Amino acid sequence: MKKASEKRGRGRPRTHWTGIYLTLLPHQVDAVNAWIERQDESDLTRQEAIRRLVERGLVNETKRTKGKS
């Protein structure tokens, strides 16, 4: 248990996220939106969709590079 004399840090607690700014061309935004519509989740945000698409791309890239060895 914390002592009453211990001071808490100010502000929001740190997270382990790195924020990035991403610029997409209109046709890329349309493609992401179309991908979102094909998913079974009605509450899927564009941010989460982009995270999932990046993850899928990275997994596929790893599989391709391992298959070439």
Cα separation values, 11 from 1, 14, 18, 47, Å:
21, 9, 18, 24
Distance CA 43, CA 12 (A): 26
Question: Predicted confidence band at 3 (pLDDT cuts at 50, 70, 90)?
Answer: low
The one-character DSSP state at 20 is -
Tokens of 51: 């995270």
pLDDT above 90: residue 6: no
Question: Predicted confidence band at 7 (pLDDT cuts at 50, 70, 90)?
Answer: confident
pLDDT over 90 percentage in the chain: 55
pTM of the model as a whole: 0.67
Domain ranges in the chain? 45-69
Q: Report the pLDDT value the prediction gives residue 29, as an integer from 0 to 100.
A: 97
